[in-house]
Structure formats: C-alpha cells, structure tokens
Chains A and B, each alone.
Chain A
C-alpha cells in the first residue's frame, strides 16, 4: 500500500504538485481536490446562515423600524431560550408528534391512492377520460378552501385536518404520475413485447419503473403542499399541532414561540423532503450519479 501510494504520488506529482497543499498525504490531497466544490458550497452555506442569524440579531436587539417593525420580533437568543425550554415540555413534543402523524397519514393515503390511480389512468384511456375532467375541476381549489367543507364532511377535527393534508398532496402526486406515464418510451414497450412480455408484465417491468422519476417528483411536491395545507388547517381548526402552536403563541403574546414554531415547521418540512429524496435514491439506483 505505501509503495502504491508512492507510485501514484510520484506519477501525479508533475501535474498537481503546485496546487496540492504539501501537508496533506496523497489520498487526503486527492480527496480535497475531488470534493473542492462541495466543500466550498458547504463553507459558503455555513457563512450565509451565520450572516442571517447575525442580521436577525442586530435587527431585533436594536429594534429597527424601517418600513418593517422589528420592535416585537424575538431575537435569536430569545428563540433559542424558548427552544431549550420547549424540548423539555411534553406538550410541545406532542404538538410536533401530532403534526407528523397527520402528515404521515394524509400523505401516505394520497400516495396510496394517487400513484395507482395515475398509473391506471395513464394506461387505460377510458379511466383517464372519465376521471381527468373531475380532477381538473377540483385541482385548482387550494386545500385551505376545503377547510369549512372538511369540517362538515368529517365527524372529528382530526379527520378533517388529515383530509386537508391528503387533498393537498394528492393532486401533485396524481398529475406527476400521469405525466410520467405519458412520457414512457413506446419503443421500450415494443422491446418488452417482442421479448414475450404480456400486459401485466409490461405494466410492472416497463410502465411503472419508467414513471418512477416523475412519481418521485410528484411525491416531493406533494409533501411540500401537504405541510402547507396541514399548517393552514391546524391554524384554523386545530387544538394541537405545530401550526396550532404557532398561532396560539401569537394569541398568548409568546413572541419567541412564534419564531420557534416557524423554525420547527421549516425543519420538519426539510426533513420530510430529504426522506423522500433518500427513498427515491434507494428505489431508483440506476439514476444515482
């Protein structure tokens, strides 16, 4: 191993010696060069987040009023203080847990209904012709506009909030699955047919995997809209949930908790879309770069 390292080092020396930091070993230097762009992006990202916090801190400690009023806006330190208090508060954790459960149920239902419906609509013209007009009429209605109707439809608040979350994520999932189906290369279908594949196999081995990238686009967008819809529903009709927590903080003049709620929503949203991206990479290894 040392011999091999020495050889590669001596071979690459004429080209890279001037740029490689001399204190690094050859592998470390190579790792640095290969990841230079990513390291730079991370460093700049950290700096810009720090700058954001600093500006926020300055604006709030000096209570700047310049068109926008920072008089009552909590400072980052105040938010941090309420965060350390909240993580020991079982009620706060319950808010988060309930929101996550609503997302999980609503989003999963949307995926379980939306993806197969999209696949079937993409494959069978009659189903498409029958379902598509209804979907097109309902699609532009924002999930928030469904709140009063949802409260009438469902016996409990919990169910109506899950329903709103479902609606929010359902249409992006359906539309993107349909789009994926419409882009399946017909030559691949032919290739499968002349290898002896029947309808069912073609569906499983060609149409479904070919649509997966768009299905995952739909799931990612759907997850985003699910959070938007959930928070709105919780603010209007909830008794628990992170959206309700944020609104309640405003009513109770707990200004630091408002920011805490917002940040929690942001982190949860980010985490759930990362989960979907990770699942996508697991399911579609051929798209790994």
Chain B
C-alpha cells in the first residue's frame, strides 16, 4: 500500500563486501566470501551456482536469519538486522502451516500486523482468487498438490505487501510441467506488483527465463563469478526458450557453472583417485595393508 503512495520506487537491495563463515571443530569455514550484489527497485534478479555454493545461505542472510560475518546488507538504505515482513520469503519445502487452512495461511502476515479478521479475510480471498485458489480456501495444505502449495506460499509472502520477495529454489520440488506454469504465474504476479525479486536456483533455464539479471556464483566458498544481464524482451513466452538469443545466454551460463561444478567435485574425485593409485596390495587384503 505504502509502495503505491510514495513516489520513489522501493525495494532496493544493496549487499556490500558480504562474507559469512561459521565455526567448526576444524576452525572457521567460509560459506560465502567477498560478495557484492544489488537489486534495483522492481528488478528480477537470480542467483545461480553449483549446489552447496552458499547461495541459499546468502539468501537467508538477506532475509535476516543469518548475520553476515563481514559486510552489510541494506534494503532502501536500511540495514537488515533480522527477519521482517518487509522481506517476504518463499521456501523450497513450501513451509505452509499444516494446522491452518489455505486462507488462514495467507492471512497470517496480516494477522501479525493486527488487521481485523473480516478485513484480512477479504484481502486473503482476493489474493487467492488471483492465484486461482479461491475454491481451496478452506482446505488444509496437506490436501493440495505441490504446485498449489507453492502458489499459496507465494501468495502468503505477498499478502503483507513486502518491498522485496526472496525465493529459495521455490520450484525445485515440482515436476517439469508444473514448474513451467509456476514460472509464468510468478512472472505475472511480479509484473503486476512491481516488486523487487531475488531468486535463488540451480536451474539455468529458469534463471534466464525469469530474470532481468543473473548472478553466477563460484563453488564453495561462494562469491560472485559473473553478472549477466538478460536482455530478452518482456512479456516472455515459453517459446523464447528456443530462440538463439536464449540459447546463447544458456551456453554462456552453462560453461561458467560447469567449471565451478567441476571445481567443487574435482577435489573429491582426485583425492579418491590418488588413494586408489597409491595403495598396492601385493596379494594382501586391504585391511592388512592399512
């Protein structure tokens, strides 16, 4: 609501010199190092990277669940110090409250804000209508399909009118067809609400199809390896994924990621390989040699 009233667009994310490490028995382990990113108001930005590169850790820090070891995260100039309804989040595991009906889930953020019951019921119904879920408002989440659950998850995160929407591999658990439809729904909602989106995924096609800009992360410890603008025209149809422009972007990102994935896995493979080569059994059993 306030976003509509003010002249300056909101939801400007600025992350500077970010790093996050945690302590283990072997000492400090870096999850993410020296990362700079920004999301302009109303922009759709994705972060892709090999699995385990720390992109989810990074998103959790933007959400306010984790404190950066160094660096700062600001939204519209205000420093992030903890989770807040200003930054809506959508989780891979849907994370709907099983004990609340679909509508009660959507109402939750408004209830926390102290909105009276009748008012928030009306708001929730409107939002569910936009997502094509009005017929399911009284269902419990358990009864819904994965795609429906995640639509509820997105609507729930948007209900409070956040400045920023953070999505952590939201479609990772869905089948391919459902994923495509969900991408379309998300795009429609984003265009209608003009909200800033930070989207984490390991799916390169998804990142290109959805985003204005894609950040590619390195293998652990994660940092930004490249920043790729996606100049594809909007609105985008599914057919854009066959265009030569899309395929060229895809090839570029693919090779960047493959390099990092190999780096991430290479260490393990080589170490194992070396061990295998150095052990000579000479007719003894492995246990005897060791």
Chain A interface residues (CB < 8 Å from chain B) = 185, 187-188, 190-198, 201, 205-206, 209-210, 212, 284-286
- Let me know if A193 and B97 touch, CB within 8 A: no
- Let me know if A191 and B140 touch, CB within 8 A: no
Which residues of A sit under 8 angstroms from B87, Cβ to Cβ? 194
- Let me know if B97 and A206 touch, CB within 8 A: yes
- Let me know if A195 and B85 touch, CB within 8 A: yes
- Let me know if A187 and B85 touch, CB within 8 A: no
Which residues of A sit under 8 angstroms from B112, Cβ to Cβ? 192, 195-198, 201
- Let me know if B108 and A195 touch, CB within 8 A: yes
A187 partner, pick from B84, B93, B108, beta carbons under 8 A: B93
- Let me know if A209 and B97 touch, CB within 8 A: yes
14 example contacts (A-B, Cβ-Cβ < 8 A) are as follows A187-B91, A190-B89, A191-B89, A191-B97, A193-B65, A193-B83, A194-B83, A194-B84, A195-B88, A195-B108, A196-B85, A201-B112, A285-B140, A286-B98
B97-111 to A contact mask, C-beta < 8 Å, 1/0: 111100000001100
For A195, A201, A205, the residue with the greatest tally of chain B CB atoms inside 10 Å of its CB is A195
A58 to chain B minimum Cβ distance, whole angstroms, is 50
| B113 contacts A by Cβ under 8 Å | yes
Closest-by-CB residue of B relative to A209 is B99
- Let me know if B140 and A188 touch, CB within 8 A: no
- Let me know if A190 and B65 touch, CB within 8 A: yes
A206–B112 Cα distance when bound, in Å, is: 13
- Let me know if B95 and A196 touch, CB within 8 A: no
A56–B253 Cα distance when bound, in Å, is: 80
Which residues of B sit under 8 angstroms from A191, Cβ to Cβ? 89, 91, 95-97
A212–B98 Cα distance when bound, in Å, is: 12
A185–B96 Cα distance when bound, in Å, is: 11
- Chain B residues 131-157 with CB under 8 Å of chain A are 140, 142, 156-157
B97 partner, pick from A188, A194, A196, A198, beta carbons under 8 A: A188
- Let me know if A190 and B99 touch, CB within 8 A: no
A198–B87 Cα distance when bound, in Å, is: 15
